[in-house]
Amino acid sequence: MFGLVPFVSKNALRTNDDDMFDRMMNVFDEPFFSNFHTPDFKVDVKDNGTSYDLTAELPGMKKEDIQLTYKDNYLTIGAKNETSHDEKDDQGNYIRRERSASSMSRSFYIDGIDESKATADYKDGILSVHLPKMAVQAEPSHTIEIRGL
């Protein structure tokens, strides 16, 4: 079974009308301020019957910056990116120095995966993950002899 781990802020769970003013005033938890939190990346998930295929867009990332883990039925894709833009004058003193760092992570609940056969490829900013499902073994059946008395 496949499931996306939902993100729900603590304020989204409130239903009391008295809390509406508090929710409105707590601007740092609200989604319209999305520029202040970690960016996400797009992931497509396909169920092929015998396997799951995930495709994640991670443009500008290097293979070394991506971490892929499967633990306790959760597949987690994590990525870190650091960039720097330096401008110098003739003496080597910095006039402006801009650095940015970001990290992103997405988790998916996927059970019944044969971890030993899972594979992943990264090319041109696209991470492709192939997760074969465990083979369902049919219960062995046998005939029960009926004895007469």
**Considering the entire predicted model, what is its pTM?**
0.59
CA angle 136, 72, 3 (to 5 degrees): 70
Identify any residues that bridge with 3 across adjacent strands, giving them in sequence order: 109
Question: pLDDT tens-digit profile of 7-56?
Answer: 444 444 445 555 555 555 555 544 444 444 445 789 999 999 999 999 99
Residues whose CB falls within 8 Å of the CB of residue 140, separated by 6 or more in sequence, listed in order: none
Question: pLDDT tens-digit profile of 91-108?
Answer: 566 666 666 677 889 999
Max CA separation in the chain (angstroms): 107
**Residue 24 corresponds to which tokens in the numbers above?**
């409105």
- E-only strand ranges, the chain: 2-4, 43-47, 51-57, 66-71, 74-88, 94-110, 119-123, 126-132
Half-sphere exposure of 76 (CA within 13 A, CB side): 11
- Give domain 39-132's CATH architecture: Sandwich (2.60)
Question: pLDDT tens-digit profile of 58-76?
Answer: 988 899 999 999 999 999 9
